[in-house]
Chains A and B, each alone.
Chain A
Amino acid sequence: MSMAESSPAIRLTDIYKSFGPVQANRGASLEVAAGEIHALVGENGAGKSTLMRVLSGMYAPDSGRMEVFGRDVTGWRTAEAIDAGVGMVHQHFMLVPTLTVAENVMLGRELTKNGQLDRERAEREVAELSRATGLAVRADRTVADLSVGEAQRVEILKTLYRGARILILDEPTAVLSPPEIDELWQVLRQVRARGETIVLITHKLDEVMEISDTITVMRNGRTVARLRTAETRPAEIAKAMVGRDVQLAMHYIDEVRGADTAARTHLPPSAPLLEVRDLLVEDARRLTAVNGVSFSVAPGEILGIAGVEGNGQTELLEALAGLRDVRGGRIAIASRDITRLTVKARGDAGLSHIPEDRHARGLILDYSVAENLILGQQHRFTRGVRIDQERIHENARRQIAAYDIRPVDPQLPARALSGGNQQKIVIAREMGRAFQVLLAAQPTRGVDVGAIEFIHARLRDARDAGKAILLVSADLAEILALSDRIAVMYGGRLVTVLPRAEASEEVLGPYMTGAATEHAA
C-alpha cells in the first residue's frame, strides 16, 4: 500500500458543536485507520454520540474539519454520508415500528419497479444479506414485533445494506445479554475481516479491551487521549476518561470492579421492611413483564437487582412505586399491605423512590429547584389550600446546603442544572425526608464521578441507618459495589438471589443470559 492511499478512513479535526447553551463538542478530534475497530470512550455526556452524529451527517459542526478517506466532507448531509459509506447504528434504534424489516432496510433508497416499491426484491436481498453476515432476521416481520436483539440486527443490516464501509455503533451492548454480545463481537470481527472500518462508542472498559484495536478517549467534549489497545491498561483509560483527581478516580474504578469487599456478609435478623409476594405486572403492550416475583428486603440491607435492561426491572419498580397497576400478588411495607395504595399514600407509608429517568419522571424541568425539592410532598407544604412558599424556601435552603447542589439558587429552573446536580435534587428530596424503604433505580446514571461517589456514600449511610434499599442498576459493577444480596432478573423473573460474597460477574453472567436458572423461592 503506497503512502498516498493510506489516508485514514476518518479524520475529524477540532470539531465544535453546541446545542443552545450546551457545548457538546469543543475541539474534538478523531483519527481512525481503515480496517480497524476503534473504540470511542468517555463518560456519559463526554460528547461521543454528538461527534459521531456529526460524522454521520445528522448534525452540522459549528466549526472544524471532517475528512473521510482523505476527502473533505465537512458539514455533509446524512444522505451524502450514507452514499459515501458511513452508517451509524444508534443507541435508540432508528427503526420505524409500523414498517416491516424490509421496508425499514430499504427506507431512503427504495427499490422500485415501474415506480412502485419492489417489496419482493427487497425481502429477497435482505434475506441474502442476512445469510451472508450471520445476522438472522425475518424480512417480512413488522419491527414493532421484534425483540431488542433482533431490532439491533436489523439496524446493522440496514447500514451494511447501504454499503457502509465505516460502521459506527453507539453503545450497542447496553440492551444485549452476554451471549448476544458475543454474537455481536463475532459479527463485528467478520465485518472487519471484509476490510470495513468500525467505530464503537462505549463507556465499558472490558468491551474496549476485548474488541478494539485503537482507542480515543473523550472528556467534556474534547479529545484527551489516543491509545493502542494492545499497549494500554483499563486503569490508564479510566484515568483519561475521568481526568481530574486521579486518586478519586482510581478509587472509583476499584470500587466498581468489586474490589470493595467491605459489603457486609451477615444479614440483620429483623423482620423485612419491604416484602413482595408473587407479583404479576403487565407492560404497556399488556404482556406479562413481571412474572411472579417474590423477595424481601430487611432493615439495614441493600438488595441489588442485576440484569440486562428490559427484563422487567422498569415494570417491577413502577409497580412497587404505584405507577403501574398490579395484576396479582402483594406488596407490603413493614407488614402493611400497600398493593392498592396510590403513589401519595405509599409515600406517606414510608416509601421513597429515586426513579430511573430523572428527566421524564424525577424532575419537572421548568419548575424551580425549590419546587422540585418538594415534588411528591406538596401536600405537606401547605397552609390551607395554599402552598406555603416560606417553608418551601426554607426546605430548599437546607437541602441545597446538605447535598451541595450547585449553583446555589433555589429559584433556578431544574433545567438549568447539570445532570449530576439534577440527580442530587432527586436524591436530596427522596433521602432527605422520613422514609423506611428506598427504591433506587439507576441512581448514578449519567452523572460525573464525584457525584457517583457522593450518591454511593449516601446510599450506604441510609443502609447503615437501618433503611431497606432496593437497588436496580444496569451497571453490574455498581450492584457488586453496593449490595448485601444480589438478585438477577431475567425474563420477568428473579432467577437467583445470592449473598454478595458468592456473587461475581462470572457467577452472575449465566443468570443474566437465562443460561442458568435456579428459580428463587
Chain B
Amino acid sequence: MIIFGFLAQTLRIVIPYIFAASGGVISERSGLIAIGLEGYMLTGAFCAALASYYSGSPWIGLIGAAAGGIAIALLYAVTAIRFRADQVVVGIAINLLAVGMTRFFLRLTFHSSANSPRVPGFGAEQSGTGVASLASNPLIWMGIAAVALVAWMLYRTPFGLRIRAVGEHPVAATSVGIRVGRIRYLAAALSGMLAGLGGAYLALDQHQFSAEMTAGRGFIALAAVIFGRWDPVRAALACLLFAAADALQIQLQGAQAIPSQFVEMIPYALTIIALAGVVGRATPPAALGKVAE
C-alpha cells in the first residue's frame, strides 16, 4: 500500500514536469533557450482555469491552456528571432510577465489576489492518491504519450530532422532552403503548448488556479532537459527521478529523516553535477541561444 501510494504520488508529480520538459527539449533542440518554461506553465494553468470556468468543461480548459502557452511562447520567439533579443534576458522577463499577467487578470476576472474559484477539472473530486482516480485523468495518458510523440517527431520525421539541423547549424539549414525562423516559431509554439498543458494539469487537478502555483516546476523541467541531455526520453526519465525524490520526501514527512529542503535541492544539484561533466559532459545544441545573422 505504501508502495502504491508512492507510485501514485510520483506519477501525479511527474506529469507536469514531463509535459514541460518535452516542450523544453523541442525548444532547445531548435536553438531557443527554454528559460521561459515556468512562464508558459503558469500561463497555461491560468488559461486552463479561465476557460474551464467559463465553459464548464475541462476539455475546453485544455484548449485554453494550449492557446495561452502558444501565445506567450510566440511572444518570446518573436522577440528572440525577429528582434534578435538576448534569449536569457527575454526568457526571464517572460517569467516575470507571466506572474504579473496571471495575477493581474486573476484580480480582473475573479476579484481575488490569491486564487480562482473552483473550476471543473479532471479526476476525483477529492484529490485522493488512489490509482483509479489517477487513471481517470486523461492528462496522465496525454503526458506519457507526449514523450513518445516528441521522440518520434524529433528522430523520425522530416520536421524533427529540420529542428535538429536548425539548432545545430542554422546557416547550413538556410543553405538548403529551410526557413530557420519558421522552424523555430513552430518549435516555440509546440513547446508553449506542451508546457501550457503541464500547467493545465496543475490547475485542473486542483480544480482551481492559485497565484504562482507552478512554484519553480518550469525550472525543474529545464533542469531535466539538461540532465537528460536534450533527449526527450532521457529528459522524461530525469523528470521521473526528480518526481520520485519529491514523492519519497512526502511519504517520509512524518519520519523527519531528511529535511524537505534537501530533497528539494536534488534536481538542481544533479543538473549542476551533469553540467560540470562529472559523469560525462552534457553538450548543448551548438546554436542554442544564437540567432543567425
Binding site for B on A (CB under 8 A): 56-58, 77-83, 88, 90, 93-99, 103-104, 107-110, 112, 115-117, 158, 162
Contact = CB atoms under 8 A, between A and B. Distances in A.
A107 B165 CA distance: 8
B158 to A, nearest CB: 4
A108 B176 contact: yes
Nearest to A112: B158
A57 B158 CA distance: 22
A107 B168 contact: no
Interface string B157-176: 11001101100110111111
B168 A96 contact: yes
A193 to B, nearest CB: 26
B177 A95 contact: no
Contacts of B213: none
30 contacts: A57-B177, A58-B175, A78-B175, A78-B177, A79-B177, A81-B177, A83-B177, A90-B175, A95-B169, A95-B172, A96-B165, A96-B168, A96-B173, A97-B169, A97-B286, A98-B286, A99-B164, A99-B165, A99-B168, A103-B161, A104-B172, A107-B178, A108-B177, A110-B158, A112-B157, A112-B158, A116-B156, A116-B157, A117-B161, A158-B176
Given A107-B162, A110-B161, A117-B156, A97 B168 contact: yes
Interface residues of B, number: 19
Closest 10 A-B residue pairs measured CB to CB?
A79-B177, A108-B176, A110-B158, A94-B172, A94-B175, A78-B177, A96-B169, A96-B165, A116-B156, A108-B177
A110 B162 CA distance: 9
Contact of A108 (B164, B169, B178): B178
A58 B173 CA distance: 11
A117 B174 CA distance: 20
Nearest to B287: A96
Given A96-B164, A107-B162, A117 B157 contact: yes
Centre residue among B164, B168, B174, B176 by max chain A CB count within 10 A: B176
Contacts of A99: 161, 164-165, 168
Given A58-B174, A112-B158, 19 more contacts: A77-B177, A78-B176, A79-B179, A82-B176, A94-B169, A94-B172, A96-B168, A96-B169, A96-B172, A98-B164, A99-B164, A107-B162, A107-B165, A108-B162, A110-B161, A115-B157, A116-B157, A117-B156, A162-B176
Contacts of B171: 94
Nearest to B160: A117
Centre residue among B162, B173, B175 by max chain A CB count within 10 A: B175
A111 B284 CA distance: 27
A158 B177 CA distance: 13
A378 B47 CA distance: 57
A107 B161 contact: yes
A88 B171 CA distance: 13
B158 A117 contact: yes
A112 B175 CA distance: 21
Contacts of A94: 169, 171-172, 175-176
A93 B178 CA distance: 16
Contacts of A83: 177
A99 B174 CA distance: 16
A162 B176 CA distance: 9
